[in-house]
Amino acid sequence: MSVPEPGFLERHLRERRAAGAKLLVPYVTGGLGPRWTEVLEAMAAAGADAIEVGIPFSDPVMDGPTIQEASQRALELGATPTAILDAVDAVDAGVPLVAMTYYNIVYRGGHRRFAHALSGNGVSGAIVPDIPLEELDPWARAAESEGVETVLLAAPVTPDDRLALICERSHGFVYGVSAMGITGERQSLAASAGVMAKRLKAHTDKPVLLGFGISTPAHAVEACAEADGVVVASALMRRLLDGASPDQIGSAVAGFRQALDAG
């Protein structure tokens, strides 16, 4: 895949939103099994608007048991940032890709080199949850110079003044954390989700997506009452860990797609 045009992620999501779609961004852990890039392709074919590709880290403090296990398994299978990005480069998903990792992976690679490796391998955006606003500059400078869109997270406890800054400095979309906590499946959508999305929408016209705990198509529909879209991770990775094929993951993503399209 060639270097994405700068701003592809946000432009694509805005266009889809303008066309009336609710945005669906599934997640796959890079390197999780020999067929993980087929999973990525199946997600795209099933109607994903963008795809998050996890670059696993040994100590994922924001992640619950499912993504922890997925990360650990991928690392045991030899996943490295370079191998994952090389594999991504060979795929033509047709939708923007967003790398999701932790700051030490970026820091070790070198800000500029890591940003360059993303854009050079067809990845449009990056999510690095353990870089708060105060520590953002070195990465943001590198990302901007390489045309990588950095998606920032906001949490239910984030006060309004920080929320405004997060919305201003986030590119691609703004990621609202639906509930205080870590990633992982939940029985129901947290009450904080709708409030989170509403607060973000009041600050920005960038696409606002909710993530963390979106486990079923019904949750996704409920979240999209306020948000422009959702990120779905653990619910899909649990299936993959349980042995689902790329086609089966594709079907699960299609289930979310259909529910969102039906409203």
Partner 1 sequence: MESRDTAALMREPTPEGRFGRFGGRFLPEALVPACQELEAAFRAAWADPAFHDEYLGILAANGRPTPVSECRRLSERLGVRVLLKREDLTHTGSHKINNVIGQALLTRRMGKTRVVAETGAGQHGVAAATAAAMFGFECVIYMGEVDVERQALNVFRMKLLGAEVVPVGSGSRTLKDAINEAFRDWVSSVETTHYLLGSVTGPHPYPWMIRELQRVIGDEARGQCRAILGGADPDYVVACVGGGSNAAGTFAGFVDTGARLVGVEPAGGAAVGRGIPGVVHGSLSQLLQDEHGQIIEAHSVSAGLDYPGVGPEHAHLADVGRAVYVPAADEEVLAALRLLATTEGIIPALEPAHAVAWVIRAAGTDALPTGSTVLITMSGRGDKDAEHVMGMLDAG
Name the site residues for partner 1 (rule: CB under 8 A).
57-62, 64, 68, 72, 75, 80-82, 103-109, 129-135, 152-159, 162, 166, 177, 180-182
Ramachandran sector of residue 213 (left: φ over 0; alpha: ψ -120 to 50; beta: rest): left
Measured CA to CA in angstroms, residue 117 lies from 20, 111, 169, 184 at distances of 33, 10, 22, 29
Answer whether 27's CB lies under 8 Å from 74's CB: no
Q: How far apart are CA 181 and CA 160, in angstroms?
A: 20
Q: How far is the CB of 66 from partner 1 (least distance, A)?
A: 12
Q: How far is the CB of 190 from partner 1 (least distance, A)?
A: 11
Catalytic residue (choose from 10, 49, 63, 228): 63
Answer whether 230's CB lies under 8 Å from 220's CB: yes
Q: How far is the CB of 192 from partner 1 (least distance, A)?
A: 11
Query: Based on CB atoms, which residue is closest to partner 1, 95 or 131?
Result: 131
Residue 43, H or E segment:
helix 36-45
Query: Based on CB atoms, which residue is closest to partner 1, 14 or 162?
Result: 162
Q: How far apart are CA 47 and CA 55, in angstroms?
A: 22
Query: Based on CB atoms, which residue is closest to partner 1, 106 or 254?
Result: 106
DSSP assignment of 211-227 equals ESS--SHHHHHHHTTTS
Told to judge if 89 belongs to the known catalytic residues of this protein, a careful annotator would answer no
Beta bridge partners of 174: 152, 208
Catalytic residue (choose from 10, 52, 146, 222): 52
CA angle 181, 186, 191 (to 5 degrees): 70
Residue 248, H or E segment:
helix 246-262
Q: How far is the CB of 103 from partner 1 (least distance, A)?
A: 5
CA angle 145, 31, 186 (to 5 degrees): 95
Query: Based on CB atoms, which residue is closest to partner 1, 166 or 208?
Result: 166
Query: Based on CB atoms, which residue is closest to partner 1, 42 or 53?
Result: 53
Told to judge if 52 belongs to the known catalytic residues of this protein, a careful annotator would answer yes
Q: Which are the catalytic amino acids?
A: 52, 63
